[in-house]
Chains A and B, each alone.
Chain A
């Protein structure tokens, strides 16, 4: 229920120079950290969390929300400029973003990512503000069975992400499932598939896999092409100064409007995925990208178009606000970043719980204001960073390839301070290069790697709850049946799309 006195108190908390100052710092650091491969939103928040210990509650929230928003967008900058997703949620942005950069439209792509991120983020923040408690109720009705079907629905998108050759896409997805099963089994934590290598018992971490498959493989390909060129005595003509001075053409308002459908898809899916605890912004980005590709095959998403960037970026940033809904309504953090924001609130004496709206309404309202105004800061600061990075992406290849290799190496290491992660990133770099050469798409591998543990864990939990009854476990609630129907519709649409693609030749 709306409380006017609390709203006035929230205004008093929010409208201070300190809040704006820390919000700006948060977004700036967040965009910078997000753009560095291996460092995610949760890393950015973890780095800056100690600063909040001595701050009043509103500036502390300003810093953390700024970091969160900035880093989710920041990941897209390096995804577009260097084919190196700064964060896992930006992996889907690489497909169209880097192709646009190679076409000389890097600035356009970065600006599209920024505007799509901010638009979807702002819209999802409004959703968060308006419907936080009822949405949280829906989220809590999603048990293991419903989550299992949601993940199965995500699997159907593999067909769309497979490109022309479906069998190769399915091979890629199977490889993803295979790699995801390395480590411990998700229910009983028994070690499996480690081949006697002790450091594999924790499984393959997503960051080195992503850095290897995207950054290192792409740069390996570029590097090998350069070697081939020098082999046939072709001189490298690119000029460093020219590369840095070119700013490229910016995004027009018409181009932004052209992507409304993809942004709407990203906003809807991202908001939905965001308020379901545990799925995360990476799933939001890939789902949005896949659905947008399926919805408009004529736009050729995946071949270097702005619509692909818009769908992926809207999909990941739209999760930022909704991921706080379970935290605010029930005290359950929906993501690692939300858990850290919850920890900061606890340090401020406002422990997130189902009584949060009753006990600390002024803090909740101030948080909503910060969420909304944070988008304005993200827009302004993101533009400055975007322009700078878009120029870096135009550096001559002989400089860009070693720079990305070095950044990817230290990014993999900085992720956990584990040198095996660097080794894995290099191995996946070679594997990714092999996949490029053999024309096997990487997107199905990434998405199946990401969702297989969720699928396995939810299926097995559902079976434990139903005491081994498969029918009860899989179709035990109306929500599950609804999701089964939705999955069937998605499979049908996917097959129809493939058939029409084949007809078009």
Chain B
């Protein structure tokens, strides 16, 4: 188990130093710069080129990335990179995707229906391994948030309950 974790961490060794990270950043900024090039020299009415400030930002990014390659902190490994493993990180990405999915469904089905389901699964996933507690907590949180928004006059998506809800 521990061996697997070590192996997994070794995969990200290239990320564990600033040089690797900064090189990646330089490549990304260069790519963005190229992406910008078709319109970047277009002159606007006041004589400025449209791309002056965006290019300035990219140039600054490249300069500071290069500084980071040679500065005294370059061999430091940031605290959270030391413990970085892929599986929990993918769990985090899943949380973001699930939240987007929740939002998309909420607009169709309604806040009051989908929110308790979303919260219940989310709470369970994060370690509260009692479905009953998860369900009760999810329901309370949904009702409190709905009540707070309704009280200040903001209507959350009613979805299929639009004809039934009084607010």
Contact = CB atoms under 8 A, between A and B. Distances in A.
- Do chains A and B interact in one complex? yes
Interface of A: 29, 32-33, 36, 39, 44, 47, 164-165, 167-168, 170-171, 173-175, 177-178, 181, 185, 187-188, 190, 192-193, 195, 216, 220-221, 223-231, 235-236, 240, 396-399, 401-403, 405-407, 409-410, 413-414, 419, 422-423, 426, 429-430, 433, 436-439, 452, 456, 460, 463-464, 468
A187 B96 contact: no
Contacts of A403: 119, 141, 145
A281 B133 CA distance: 41
A398 B123 contact: yes
Contact of A407 (B35, B68, B93, B145): B145
A171 B148 CA distance: 39
B103 A181 contact: no
A33 B100 contact: no
Nearest to B65: A171
12 contacts: A39-B154, A188-B46, A192-B54, A227-B126, A228-B85, A236-B127, A406-B145, A409-B99, A410-B111, A422-B103, A429-B96, A463-B47
The range of chain B's interface size is 35 or more
B77 to A, nearest CB: 9
A241 to B, nearest CB: 11
A409 B96 contact: no
A426 B21 CA distance: 22
B126 A401 contact: yes
Nearest to B95: A223
Contacts of B93: 430
B146 to A, nearest CB: 10
Contacts, number: 187
Given A240-B133, A409-B99, A227 B78 contact: no
A438 B78 contact: yes
B92 A175 contact: no
Contacts of B35: 195
Interface of B: 21, 25, 32, 35-36, 39, 42, 44-48, 50-51, 53-54, 56-58, 60-61, 64-65, 67-68, 71, 73, 76, 78-81, 83-85, 87-89, 91-93, 95-96, 99-100, 102-104, 107, 111, 115, 118-119, 122-123, 125-129, 133, 137-138, 141, 145, 148-149, 151-154, 156
A175 B57 CA distance: 7
Contacts of B154: 39, 47, 414
Contact of B80 (A165, A231, A439, A452): A439
Contacts of A398: 123, 126-128
